[in-house]
Amino acid sequence: MLTINFIRENTALVIEKLAIKNFDGSEIISKIIDADKTRRALQLESDNRQAEMNNLSRQIGDLFKAGKKEEAEAARQKTATLKDEIKGLTQKLEKIEKKLQKLIEQVPNLPHESVPKGKSATDNKKIRKRSSRLKLYTGAMAHWDLAKKYDIIDFELGVKLTGAGFPVYKNKGAKLQRALINFFLDENKKAGYTEYWPPLMVNADSAFGTGQLPDKEGQMYYIKSDEFYMIPTAEVPVTNIYRDVILDAKVLPVKCTAYTPCFRREAGSYGKDVRGLNRVHQFDKVEIVQIQHPEKSYETFKEMVSHVESLVVKLKLPYRIMKLCGGDMSFTSALTYDFEVFSAAQGKWLEVSSVSNFESYQANRLKLRFRDESSKKMQLAHTLNGSSLALPRIVAALLENNQTEKGIIIPKVLRKYTGFDIIS
RNA sequence: GGUGAGGUGGGUGAGUGGCUUAAACCAGCAGUUUGCUAAACUGCCGUACUCGUAAGGGUACCGGGGGUUCGAAUCCCCCCCUCACCGCCA
C-alpha cells in the first residue's frame, strides 16, 4: 500500500504512473486527497478538545484534593458537553480513517520507471532467451500422456481423492518431486538463503500483510471453522515472519527460502490451459524472499533474477525471461520478471517463476521497518520475492523435452537426488 | 474439550482510580575517564497521528472491542491469544 504522505506530496506523479498499469487513478486519488484533508481537520479539532478535557480533569482532581468541593462540582458540570463533542469528533474521525484506508488499499503499487506500457502478456518485453532447437522424435507425447505411459502421475486418481487439479505423483514421478525440491533448496542455501519450513495455513492478518486480502480473497482456500487461509505461496508465511518487525539496518539484506505446497482455487480458469500440470490447485514450489534497504533493492532484484536463471540453466531447459508490461503486472508489484520454460511437445512457453520487487508496498502493510544508520530515522524496508522454482511446469517441460524412445532422461544435476538417470 | 495462570516500551518486570507524565534493571546510543579492552560515572533512549519554517507543542496507544467515571494500565462486560496441567490423539 502506498503511504498517504507519498500520495499527498506526489499526487500528479502517482496518477501518471498508475496510467502505465492501465489504472485510471484520477478519481480515487482526488477522493483520497479530500478524505485526508477532512481527516486532518478532524484530528486537530479532536486533539484540541481532548487536551481541554485532560486539563479540566486534572483541575477537578486538584480541587477535590484541596477540599474545594463546590468549585470541583461546578467544573464537573462543564465536562458533559465537552464529552459529547469529543465522542462525536472521534466517531467522525474513525469513520473517515476507515474510508481513507479503504481507498488507499484500492490503489495498486506504482510501476518502476523501466516498466513498459501495455495491455496484456503480448506486450511483455523479452529480456533474454536461451533456447537451442529441440528435436523430438516422431511420436513424442505431451506430458500428460508420458505420465500415463510411465505411470508417474495419476490425474484421474486425484479427481477421485479430491477433485480436478490435484494430481497424484507416484513411483519415479514422486521421487522426482522430492529431488527437485531438495535440489532447489540446496542451491538456495548455497546462495545464502536461510531455510524455513512454515505453516501452510495463515490467519487473516498475514493474508492482508502480503496483499492477498482483501482483493484476492476468492483465490484462496478458506478454513471456515478456524478462520485460516491455505497459503497460495510460501511468500505469505515467510514474508509475514517480518510483520510488525523493526530491523537493525545491519542485518539487511534478509534472505529466506522455503519449500511449501501451494493452494490456489484458480476460480475463473478454464479451457486448454488447465490440461495436465499446466494449471493445478495444489502444487509444490520453492520460494525465495529478500528484505532489503530501499537504495539496494534493485541490485537485489538483479541478483535474484540471475540466481533463478542459474537454476533453469542447470536443468538445461530452454527459457526466456520476460519483463512484464504495466497491464500484466500484479497489483502489488513495482517490477516483475517472469521466467518461462519451453515445453516442447505442447509447443508452449510455461511460466515457472516470477521475480518481483514490491518496494515498500508490502512493507507498509506489514509495518516492516528498519532504522536507517545515517539518518537514525524509521523507514519502510523493501521486499522482494521469486519462485525458485515452481515444480509442475518444470516437470512438464522436463518430461516433454527430455523424452527419447528409451525413456525420459534425468538432467545430470538431479541424478544425485533421484538416484536414477532415466524414467523408462 | 476441561481447569487454572497470564498478556505492560527491544528484553526482564513493577504498577488495584489522580505526584504514572509507565518505576527499576538489562540491552542500545552519545559523552567523561582511560596505553588497549573492560569497568565506573553522566546524559539520551517507544510508536503513530497532528500543529509549527523551526525550536517546540498537542493527542492516542499497557492483547482487541465495549462500558462505568470529571479522570482507567488499574474497576465491570464480551472476545482473542499465550502458557501450565488434565483428557483425547499423529
Strand residues in A47-164 grouped as ranges (E): 125-130, 153-154
* A113 domain-assigned: no
Looking at A105, A129, A157, which one is the last position of a domain? A105
| B22 C1' to A29 CA distance, Å | 41
> In the prediction, which pLDDT does A376 show?
67
Are A269 and A365 contained in the same domain?
yes
Residue A33: exposed, middle, or buried by beta-carbon count in 10 A (0-12, 13-18, 19+)? middle
Decide: A281 and A161 in contact? Cβ < 8 Å: no
Nucleotide B10: closest residue by CA–C1': A246
Are A202 and A98 contained in the same domain?
no
Nearest to A266 by CA among A164, A341, A334: A164
Are A126 and A91 contained in the same domain?
no
Q: With the CA atoms of A78, A81, A86 and A91 taken in that order, what torsion angle do they form, in degrees rounded to the nearest 10?
A: 160
Are A95 and A151 contained in the same domain?
no
* A219 domain-assigned: yes
Reported ipTM: 0.83
Q: For A298-327, what is the mean pLDDT?
A: 96
| B64 C1' to A180 CA distance, Å | 44
Are A134 and A258 contained in the same domain?
yes
* A317 domain-assigned: yes
Are A86 and A150 contained in the same domain?
no
**At residue A370, what are phi and psi to the nearest 5 degrees?**
-145, 160
User: Nearest nucleotide (C1') to the CA of residue A60?
Assistant: B70
* A295 domain-assigned: yes
Cα gap A260→A283, rounded to integer Å:
9
Residue A275 vs residues A149, A157, A270, A288, A301: alpha-carbon distances, Å: 16, 15, 9, 27, 32
Residue A190 has pLDDT above 80, yes or no: yes
> In the prediction, which pLDDT does A133 show?
67
DSSP state of A110: P
Are A85 and A138 contained in the same domain?
no
Residues A38-66 have pLDDT tens digits of: 999 999 999 999 988 888 888 888 887 77
Residues A266-304 have pLDDT tens digits of: 877 666 677 899 999 999 999 999 999 998 999 999 999
| B64 C1' to A284 CA distance, Å | 36
Task: Please tell me the total count of domains within chain A.
Answer: 2
Domain encompassing residue A130: 121-423
C-alpha A245, offset from chain centre: 18
Residues A369-391 have pLDDT tens digits of: 887 776 667 888 999 999 999 99
Nucleic acid strand B: bases within 7 A of protein CB:
10, 18, 47-51, 57-60, 70-71
| B81 C1' to A226 CA distance, Å | 13
* A250 domain-assigned: yes
User: Nearest nucleotide (C1') to the CA of residue A46?
Assistant: B59
Least confident of A126-140, A180-194, A256-270: A126-140
* A304 domain-assigned: yes
How many residues in chain A?
424
Are A349 and A411 contained in the same domain?
yes
Are A348 and A250 contained in the same domain?
yes
Strand B-proximal protein residues, Cβ less than 7 Å: A 3-5, 36, 39-40, 43-44, 46-48, 50-51, 53-58, 60-61, 64, 76, 79-80, 83, 246, 369, 378
User: Nearest nucleotide (C1') to the CA of residue A83?
Assistant: B70
Decide: A25 and A107 in contact? Cβ < 8 Å: yes
Cα gap A307→A201, rounded to integer Å:
28
Strand residues in A268-367 grouped as ranges (E): 282-292, 319-323, 335-343, 348-357
| B35 C1' to A374 CA distance, Å | 31
Residue A259 has pLDDT above 80, yes or no: yes
Cα gap A345→A142, rounded to integer Å:
5
- pLDDT band (50, 70, 90) for residue A218: confident
3-class SS of residue A98: helix
Residue A48 vs residues A55, A81, A89, A93: alpha-carbon distances, Å: 11, 14, 11, 13
Are A72 and A136 contained in the same domain?
no
User: Nearest nucleotide (C1') to the CA of residue A377?
Assistant: B47
Q: For A96-111, what is the mean pLDDT?
A: 92
Residue A10 has pLDDT above 80, yes or no: yes
* A110 domain-assigned: no
Q: Domain holding A58: CATH number?
A: 1.10.287.40
Residue A138 has pLDDT above 90, yes or no: no
Looking at A105, A136, A171, which one is the last position of a domain? A105
Decide: A338 and A322 in contact? Cβ < 8 Å: yes
> In the prediction, which pLDDT does A181 show?
98
Q: H helices of A106-241, where?
A: 143-150, 155-161, 172-190, 204-209, 235-240
Residues A321-360 have pLDDT tens digits of: 999 999 999 999 999 999 999 999 999 999 999 999 999 9
The continuous run of DSSP H or E covering A303 comes out as helix A297-314
Evaluate the CA torsion angle A122, A128, A130, A133 in order and state its sign: positive
Are A402 and A279 contained in the same domain?
yes
| B59 C1' to A43 CA distance, Å | 8
* A116 domain-assigned: no
> In the prediction, which pLDDT does A56 show?
87
Residues 6+ apart with CB under 8 A from A389: A180, A184, A285, A286, A308, A311, A312, A339, A352, A353
Residue A9: exposed, middle, or buried by beta-carbon count in 10 A (0-12, 13-18, 19+)? exposed
DSSP state of A406: S
> In the prediction, which pLDDT does A271 show?
63
Longest CA–CA span in chain A (Å) reads 104
Q: Domain holding A378: CATH number?
A: 3.30.930.10
Residue A69: exposed, middle, or buried by beta-carbon count in 10 A (0-12, 13-18, 19+)? exposed
> In the prediction, which pLDDT does A243 show?
87
Are A152 and A29 contained in the same domain?
no
> In the prediction, which pLDDT does A139 show?
81
Residue A223 has pLDDT above 90, yes or no: no
3-class SS of residue A377: coil
| B82 C1' to A280 CA distance, Å | 37
Residue A275 CB coordination number (10 Å) = 14
Q: At what angle do helices A69-105 and A26-66 cross, to 10 degrees?
A: 160
The average confidence (pLDDT) of chain A is 91
User: Nearest nucleotide (C1') to the CA of residue A50?
Assistant: B59
Q: For A137-152, what is the mean pLDDT?
A: 92
Count Cα neighbours of A219 within 13 Å in the Cβ-side half-sphere: 16
| B43 C1' to A240 CA distance, Å | 38
